[in-house]
Amino acid sequence: MKELVRELVRKSLEQAYAKGELASGQFPAVVVETPAHAEHGDFASNVAMQLAKLEKKSPRVVAEILVQHLAAADTFDKVEIAGPGFINFYLKGALWRQALGEIDRVGAEYGKSRIGNGEKVQVEFVSANPTGPLHIGHGRGAAIGDSLCRLLDATGWDVSREFYYNDAGQQIANLARSVQARCLGIEPDDPSWPADGYQGEYIKDLARCYLAGETADAGDQHVTAARDAHDLEAIRHFAVAYLRREQDQDLEAFDVRFDVYYLESSLYADGRVAEVVKRLMDNGHTYEQDGALWLRTTAFGDDKDRVMRKADGSYTYFVPDIAYHLTKWERGFIRVINEQGADHHSTITRVRAGLQALDLGIPQGWPEYVLHQMVTVMRGGEEVKISKRAGSYVTLRDLIDEVGRDATRFFFVMRKPDSQLVFDIDLAKQQTLDNPVYYVQYAHARICSIFENAREKGLVPANLASVPLDRLETTEEMLLIKALASFPEVVEGSALNFEPHRITNYLQELAGLFHSFYNKNRVVTEEPALTAARLFLLKCVAQTVRNGLAMLGIAAPERM
């Protein structure tokens, strides 16, 4: 719809220029937007103001010229010049109503587009270390990352979801020692408790399962516990598989799935880490100092150089990180998006610097990042402190169990990733009007209930051809139709900007418009034509709500 107006303005510019009424011949990109106030029309353009300087004419004069050349009598009810030089467009109602036919025709596809052109894009998200259960921060990452994937998929990208397991390195050694300590009956306050050990209760459970000889199945790993408290390697192996299984189960409960699980350990096993180190050295970007091998990341925008290989001979985490991202490049992902917590933002510069130092023609800004800020959990008006070490924190599983999957997902994506999120458990649990997710779902359920009522009266939704759409003319109906028509644009903006919260905002607005409509207008009336038209409108509203919720991985219940 907006594109239609844009095109007409563009033509009008060309006309005016052809007739010599515009001198410059330089046209700015035509901006058409939806004004904040309805009295400024359905759409407005500021081209006249942008052109005024070039043309050395007042904006209103330029606007006059453009309006004269606007060949669109059958498109607009009214076109007027307002304020400093805006051109306001009032579309014919019939044109708006046509959008309903489109929604009905494409159904579940409504809102989707092809702007991604089938290009491959990889989204890496969650990527939690297998050292403990998923906590609330991972939850936000999972919800945002998964919604992002759904949005990119909806806009025509070929999406691959990836989870990177840091199953090697220092912290896994800490994990193994912590479990071993528990196996030996050592408590965290004991002097022989390992430094930097993980103190959580789950370590105790893990130790018990290990000693009991249980089997942990995760992905293609099937590890049976060796039961020997002195076999640190066996403990490590079991602990990683055990915690991975726990995480997989949590993610499944959250309805988040991945296409690829990539193991850090495999980068060592297949020699990729060694290869990367060699290449970086051959390229002359490294040097030795204090017994360690350094990468000159300052040559690529970092504020200090980074150690690659420690004095003890092992690699720091960011070497496998570079090797890992190199595999993404080699796997043909021109676009890669990493969704992470903002506390890891310093890795961005490092990973990009490392990739640049490989001299393989990888673009400077590759990969892209979406960082989400920290989550604060409130319960009973008080902040719940999160401390992994002490083992006291709210897990993702706790949340799903307590407030439900749908509310959890909605709450996690309803703020833009850039802002910190206050997760109010009490609010999310409330099944009342305060809770935005119920507000939206209720709109859907309510429409379904109206259909139920209509069916009981023998009314079935009619075909578009036989529905007198021109009977839809009240303010509430027109507002609903216009909101429905803007959905594809919202989806596009949401996907292109990596901002799923635009969808939650849109859905709350749409639900609000529906509830207003419902309270003022009766759907099932004595008048068959009007009833048919309104049922058709609501069919489109329900479809759009369903489509929007689907992009967030949230259910649209028919009954509540």
Partner RNA sequence: GCGCCUGUAGCUCAGUUGGAUAGAGCAACGGACUUCUAAUCCGUAGGUCAGAGGUUCGAAUCCUCUCUGGCGCGCCA
Which stretch in 145-153, 337-345, 360-368, 461-469 sits in contact with RNA by CB under 7 A?
A: 337-345
519 binds RNA (CB under 7 A): yes
Question: Judging by beta carbons within 10 Å of its beta carbon (0-12, 13-18, 19+), is residue 509 exposed, middle or buried?
Answer: middle
As measured in angstroms, the least distance from the Cβ of 254 to RNA is 21
515 binds RNA (CB under 7 A): yes
- Nearer to RNA by C-beta: 129 or 547? 129
- Nearer to RNA by C-beta: 19 or 53? 53
135 binds RNA (CB under 7 A): no
Q: Which of 26, 364, 392, 497 binds RNA (CB under 7 A)?
A: 497
Nearest Cα neighbor of 447 from 551, 560, 306 is: 560
- Nearer to RNA by C-beta: 225 or 513? 513
Task: Give the distance, in angstroms, between the CA of residue 61 and the centroid of all CA atoms in the same chain.
Answer: 44
Tokens of 424: 């109010």
The dihedral built from the CA positions of residue 244, 250, 252 and 255, taken in this order, carries a sign that is negative
Which stretch in 95-103, 201-209, 269-277, 509-517 sits in contact with RNA by CB under 7 A?
A: 509-517
Q: Cα(373)–Cα(340) distance, rounded to whole angstroms?
A: 9
523 binds RNA (CB under 7 A): yes
Q: Cα(314)–Cα(292) distance, rounded to whole angstroms?
A: 10
Length of the chain counted residue by residue: 560
φ, ψ at 259 (rounded to 5°): -85, -35
Binding mask 359-398 for RNA (x = CB under 7 A): ------------x-xx------------------------
Interface with RNA in residues 235-254 (CB under 7 A)? none
Which stretch in 3-11, 35-43, 102-110, 541-549 sits in contact with RNA by CB under 7 A?
A: 35-43
Tokens of 459: 């009314």
Interface with RNA in residues 258-297 (CB under 7 A)? 264, 289-292
422 binds RNA (CB under 7 A): yes
Pairing of strands 421-424, 306-309: unpaired
Q: Which of 170, 215, 283, 392 binds RNA (CB under 7 A)?
A: 170
Tokens of 205: 């459970």
194 binds RNA (CB under 7 A): no
As measured in angstroms, the least distance from the Cβ of 398 to RNA is 20
524 binds RNA (CB under 7 A): yes
Give the contacts of 526 (CB within 8 A, at least 6 positions apart).
none
Which stretch in 11-19, 103-111, 255-263, 313-321 sits in contact with RNA by CB under 7 A?
A: 313-321
Nearest Cα neighbor of 308 from 291, 325, 324 is: 291
As measured in angstroms, the least distance from the Cβ of 83 to RNA is 3
Which stretch in 7-15, 80-88, 247-255, 466-474 sits in contact with RNA by CB under 7 A?
A: 80-88
As measured in angstroms, the least distance from the Cβ of 504 to RNA is 9
As measured in angstroms, the least distance from the Cβ of 436 to RNA is 7
Show contacts of 449-454: CB within 8 Å, 24+ apart.
449/559, 450/523, 450/524, 450/535, 450/538, 451/535, 451/538, 451/539, 453/524, 454/523, 454/524, 454/531, 454/535
* Buried b or exposed e, range 365-404, using 16+ CB within 10 angstroms: ebbebbbbbebebeeeeeebebebeebebbbbbbbbeebb
Q: Which of 68, 298, 392, 431 binds RNA (CB under 7 A)?
A: 431
Cis ω for the linkage preceding 367 (within 30 of 0): yes
Per-residue DSSP letters for 173-192? HHHHHHHHHHHTT--TTSTT
As measured in angstroms, the least distance from the Cβ of 518 to RNA is 5
Q: Cα(249)–Cα(247) distance, rounded to whole angstroms?
A: 5
Q: Which of 12, 50, 356, 543 binds RNA (CB under 7 A)?
A: 50
φ, ψ at 87 (rounded to 5°): -110, 120
77 binds RNA (CB under 7 A): no
Which stretch in 112-120, 199-207, 215-223, 413-421 sits in contact with RNA by CB under 7 A?
A: 413-421
38 binds RNA (CB under 7 A): no
Interface with RNA in residues 195-214 (CB under 7 A)? none
462 binds RNA (CB under 7 A): no
Q: Which of 18, 23, 31, 106 binds RNA (CB under 7 A)?
A: 31
Q: How many residues bind RNA (CB under 7 A)?
A: 92
Which stretch in 65-73, 150-158, 395-403, 411-419 sits in contact with RNA by CB under 7 A?
A: 411-419
As measured in angstroms, the least distance from the Cβ of 543 to RNA is 17
Amino acid at 371: L
499 binds RNA (CB under 7 A): yes
Q: Which of 471, 501, 539, 546 binds RNA (CB under 7 A)?
A: 501
Which stretch in 14-22, 182-190, 245-253, 504-512 sits in contact with RNA by CB under 7 A?
A: 504-512
Q: Cα(137)–Cα(212) distance, rounded to whole angstroms?
A: 32
As measured in angstroms, the least distance from the Cβ of 110 to RNA is 19
Which stretch in 70-78, 106-114, 269-277, 501-509 sits in contact with RNA by CB under 7 A?
A: 501-509
Question: Judging by beta carbons within 10 Å of its beta carbon (0-12, 13-18, 19+), is residue 493 exposed, middle or buried?
Answer: middle
Task: Give the distance, in angstroms, between the CA of residue 551 and the centroid of all CA atoms in the same chain.
Answer: 9
449 binds RNA (CB under 7 A): yes
The dihedral built from the CA positions of residue 435, 436, 441 and 445, taken in this order, carries a sign that is positive
- Nearer to RNA by C-beta: 171 or 221? 171
Q: Cα(349)–Cα(297) distance, rounded to whole angstroms?
A: 9
Coil, helix or strand at residue 540: helix
Binding mask 465-494 for RNA (x = CB under 7 A): ----------------------------x-
Stated as kind and residue range, the H or E segment containing 376 is strand 375-379
